[in-house]
Chain A
Amino acid sequence: MAKEATAPTLYTVAAPPHWHCGRTVTGVMQQYILALVPAAVMAVVYYGLPALRVMALSCATAVAVEALCCRVMDRESSVDDFHAVLVGLLLAFLLPAMAPWWLVVMGSALAIIIGKMFFGGLGGNPLCPAVVGWAIVALSWKTQADPDAMVLSTMLVNPLTQLKYLGLEAAGQVSLTDMLLGRQLGGLGATQVLALFAGGFYLISRGLLRCYVPLAFLAGVLLAGLAFSLADPGAQPGPLFHLFTGSVVLAAFFLATDPSSSPVTRPGMVAFGLTAGVMTVLIRVYGIYPDGTPFAVLFAALFTPVFDLLRPKPFGAR
């Protein structure tokens, strides 16, 4: 009792609500990384240690660069929220397993610096950081960032380049099952289609990922793919080909859904996903790149502020 008289008990005073759902940035990022583990394992199965090397290097660089940025910006370090690790891993997934070390370091550092920290950190970035990093290195060092050019010691083929340069018949040698299982050439993790689906659905089932963007994205790809294959069945593959190739599934579940660069309203998310999905197929059909997915994600993100205008009327407004 005497103790109480001298030191009054302190209670926490805070604004309501006093409950919380328990979901935190750190927790979400850890779960996202967990959801990517199956794809990472598959990547090592197909490409061996080089894939592991790229992923480890990319993650380590991202964390180190973010820590450094925080130092330079004179603010509390934000690396403990695991977002940098996620960015590093996603970037690695887009790169070839044989990418030179400096390309990985460049991509990862630029993803963090230009893609994220330049805009004030997580939440401020207008584009998905991993895609920004990838786009810069892919445009600057076309050969080194191109899986077709880098991964020579493999039996895997890239159905998208086959389609682009050799036509539909050549693309047909990779079956849909092979594509699903990752037996296709491409970004080391981006092509692990089944594993990525598993990760994405895991996140959705845990309530950590809203289904609007991924499903709209996939629907956009399917619809556009279907439209083209109906219009020109001799030259265009079916919609599932588009769905299972390149980085479509990775983008649908993990890149386009980057919270900060995607819209927040339901109609906005759906419009955003559809746009990115349709754009993916348009770039593939008309563009110079065999796979246009990351660019489609960047394109759609540019219009996020517009999609955010698609919001319901507030309660009571006429």
Chain B
Amino acid sequence: MQTNERGLRWLETGGSLTVYLEGDIDHHSAQTIRSRIDTKLFLTRPEELVLDLSRVNFMDSAGLGLILGRFTKASELGVGFRLSSPNRHIQKILDLAGMERIVPITAARSV
């Protein structure tokens, strides 16, 4: 796993770019996270963008907006998109939004 100068943790394997989100995702933190992911996405242009949620402690509806925004951005670039490893609290809000019907969610940390 690598960390760039802006504090984003990611892993590139094959055509996949996995970004490891961490801590609390709310309206306050979403803006910074968004620009970090988008910058990396534009520079890397992977086949697939994976957002790994295993290290996320807290997420509210701002996180839903962040995820859907990245999904839209990836689709515009012809990049595949997937969520990975949400804990059960994060899964609850994903379920509420029907996220599984929009983007694939994989449970195990399959990279």
Co-complex (A, B):
no
